[in-house]
Structure 1
Amino acid sequence: MSTLVANQMPKARSSSGFSFAMLLPGAAATFLLILFALGLVLFLAFRNNDGSLLGAGFSLSNFATLISDPLYWTVTLRSLVIAALVTLATVVTAYPVAYYLAFHAGRRRGLLLFLVTLPFWTSYLLRVFAWKIVLAYNGVLNSALIETGIWSEPTLAFLNTPAAVVVTLAHAYAPFAILPIYVALDTIPKSLIEAASDLGARPFTSFRRVVLPNSMPGVLAAALVVFVPTVGDYVTPALVGGPASTMIGTLIQAEFGKANDWPFGAALSVAVMLVILAVVLVARFTDRRFGSRT
């Protein structure tokens, strides 16, 4: 027995060493690309701007400016509202697609899932530019409305508006919402739906009492995946939005770029991260409320 245990110990150590070697590259990348960058942002947020990249001295002046200036409150609130509208639009339109994939796609499921992921094959920037062409003054939408006789001349009501930002972001992040909802729906045992039907539940009642509650973890995951990146997005507002669509990501990019004020830009970034952290905690609480085990 002792000989068997002694023979197994080198194998256990070898397996442990192999696991450590496999984890080391990912852990190193995480530290260098995420933790180090986050630490640098936190460091800069408490520095004073003296014209250099790293600033000079430590103070809370950047955060005092954020709290006292109503501009940043307005832009932050606008960013949250736009991100919430994008999340709502994306989840509402993604749920029927995911429902069809999970329960009615049949043999076409693989092909349809491939089509859902097809937008990932193109650049995000190209997709935003495509919407800019569609919504422009002489774009596809205006041309179609004129050709059908609905309007007599082009309008500027589509481009450079908050609605254009919402539509573009909702389209760009649709696959990120469809996939987690589909996974949640696909894991629901079909026997539960059949049991509800056998007990006399109508299709809508079965959906409301069985399917929807069991798919809520996927819905919340989709909402979180869409909401978090859209709060800080600055490419889409810059291309299809106007002054009324300025978001907090646009201000952060301006501070790091044109203004060359890295400490204040870092303070803005920290403020956004705290807001997102609060949203994540609320989502986590809601997730537990609906009985998720993750």
Structure 2
Amino acid sequence: MTQASLSSDRSNRSSLGLSIRKRFLSSEPLRGYSLLSPTLLTMLFGLAMPLLVLFGLSFWLQDYVDFIKTFSLQNYSDFFAKPIYSAILMKSIRISAMVTLVTVLLAYPMAYFIAFRIKSNKLVWLILITVPFWTSYLLRVFAWKLMLGYNGVVNSGLKSLGLISEPLEFLLYNPTAVAITLAHAWAAFAILPIYVSLEKIDRSLLEASRDLGENAFMSFIRVTLPLSMPGVIAASLLVFIPTVGDYVTPSLVGGPSGIMIGNIIQSMFGKAFNWPLGAAISVISMLTVTAMVCLFLWGTHRLRRAVA
């Protein structure tokens, strides 16, 4: 090959490289994907891969300490053959739905107050909301256990006021105690997205509503609430999805009647040492929650379109 042809080949390669680089830099989607690539890789290897392993494990069988690595639907059959698993899953969904409803109802007024009533130092209020979360989640659950216990703060206070003669035993070790503790634990996760939605509302729309003769309540119903629904939906999902699989809170304050599906899964991977069945229960739980979330999003979308 002659010197001229070598120079021409190098020139072509250089121009091709410059062309590719220019196309890459001028393409907004490609630049966006390049920025997201570390996060996408982390999600792939940190979340997708374990889920695939869990899904594959659910089709194996357990023989004492050994895995029988043959394809089988026995674990899924065992789940549906024993009504206790389905009952606990449904109870977990009911508790999480109740926690979500209570948390959003409590979070919305707080978010509204910060967004519309606080004129300055909003950051200070947001930081104050997160102060309880500077401590361990386990410590906060133990704090509620001390408050709701047989000789806890609530019972001691009621006895000192003479309102009760004997401690109230129903305050602890039941689904209500689980719901109260989870609602407090996830309150900040509901307040923040609702606050962001309320803060983004154009105040001129509220003024226009008032100019058209609407009172404060109707302005809230027709303007503020619909425009803040994205934050409400995000808050609901942020609370509902994690609380379905929670097992620490039911273990500490739920008792036998407050057990949730997370406790069953944890026992399968722990004392029961039946990882394939635990994996199958996990897969069924994830699919159930995914289906409910999709149904919830579809319902809220239809409702927002009907209202609009």
With the length of structure 1 as denominator, give the TM-score of the two structures.
Answer: 0.91
Q: Which whole-Å deviations, capped at 9, do the CAs of 1:69-97 have from their partners, x for residues lacking one?
A: 11011101110110011001000100100
- Secondary structure at the aligned position of 1:251 is classed as helix
Q: Say whether 1:125 aligns with 2:138.
A: yes
Percent of pairs identical after alignment?
48
Aligned to 1:85: 98
Q: 1:275 aligns with which of 265, 288, 294?
A: 288
Whether 1:197 aligns to 2:197 is: no
Q: Is residue 2:58 matched to residue 1:45?
A: yes
The code of the aligned residue for 2:122 comes to R
Unmatched 5+ residue regions in structure 1?
Answer: none
Determine the structure 2 residue equivalent to 1:29. Answer: 42
Distance in 1, matches of 2:17 and 2:68, equals 59
Contact 1:185–1:214 (CA under 8 A) maintained in structure 2 = yes
- Name 1:172's counterpart in structure 2: 185
Query: Where in structure 2 are the equivalents of 1:220-259 lying within 5 Å?
Result: 220-259=233-272
**Distance (Å, rounded) in 1 between the aligned partners of 2:181 and 2:66:** 34
Distance in 2 (alpha carbons) for counterparts of 1:265 and 1:6: 52
| Deviation per residue, 1:203-253 (Å, 9 max, x gap) | 111111111111111111111110001111100000001111111000000
Distance 1:11 1:73, change over 3 A: same
Q: How many residues align?
A: 288
- Structure 1's 53 and 120: CA in aligned 2 closer, same or farther, altered over 3 A? farther
AA at the equivalent of 2:50: A
Secondary structure of the 1:259 match is coil
Q: Which has the larger radius of gyration?
A: 2
Q: CA deviation at 1:14?
A: 7.2
Q: Alignment partner of 2:229: what SS?
A: helix
Q: Measure the CA separation in 2 of the matches of 1:88 and 1:288.
A: 18
Q: 1:24 to 1:155 in 2, by over 3 A?
A: same
CA contact (8 A) 1:53 1:261 kept: no
Unaligned residue ranges in structure 2 (runs of 5+): 1-15
Aligned counterpart, 1:185: 198
1:191 & 1:125 partners in 2: Cα distance? 45
Per the normalisation by structure 2, the TM-score is 0.87
Distance 2:19 2:58 in 1: 52
Deviations along 1:113-147, whole A, 9 cap, x unmatched?
Answer: 11112222111111101101111111111111111
Give the Å deviation of 1:148.
1.1
1:161 CA displacement? 1.1
Residue 75 (str. 1) matches residue 83 (str. 2): no
Q: Give the conservation status (yes or no) of the 8 Å contact 1:234–1:250.
A: yes
2 CA distance for matches of 1:29 and 1:9?
27
Kept in 2: contact 1:252–1:265 (CA 8 A): yes
SS in 1 for 2:201: coil
Amino acid aligned to 2:136: S
What is the CA deviation profile of residues 20-58 of structure 1, one whole-angstrom value per residue up to 9, with x for unaligned ones?
A: 765443233222210110011000111111234644311
Whether contact under 8 Å (1:55, 1:263) holds in the other structure is: no
CA distance in 1, matches of 2:66, 2:25: 46
Matched letter for residue 208 of structure 2: A
Asked if the contact 1:44/1:54 (under 8 Å) is kept, the reply is no
Native 8 Å contact 1:42 1:266 kept in 2:
yes
Structure 2 partner of 1:153: 166
Residues 144, 60 of structure 1: alpha-carbon distance in 2 compared, 3 angstrom cutoff: same
Structure 1 residues 9 and 44, CA gap change in structure 2 (3 angstroms): closer
Distance 2:229 2:32 in 1: 35
Determine the structure 1 residue equivalent to 2:153: 140
Determine the C-alpha separation between the residues in 2 that align with 1:79 and 1:126: 23
Cα distance in 1, alignment partners of residues 58 and 206 from structure 2:
53
Q: CA deviation at 1:168?
A: 0.2
Equivalents in 1 of 2:20, 2:283: separation in Å? 48
Q: Pick the aligned partner of 2:220 from 201, 207, 219.
A: 207
Question: In 2, distance between residues paired with 1:156 and 1:81?
Answer: 23
The letter for the 1-side match of 2:69 is A
User: What is the aligned counterpart of 1:58 among 62, 67, 71?
Assistant: 71
Q: Please say which of residues 229-238 and 277-286 is displaced more in the overlay.
A: 277-286
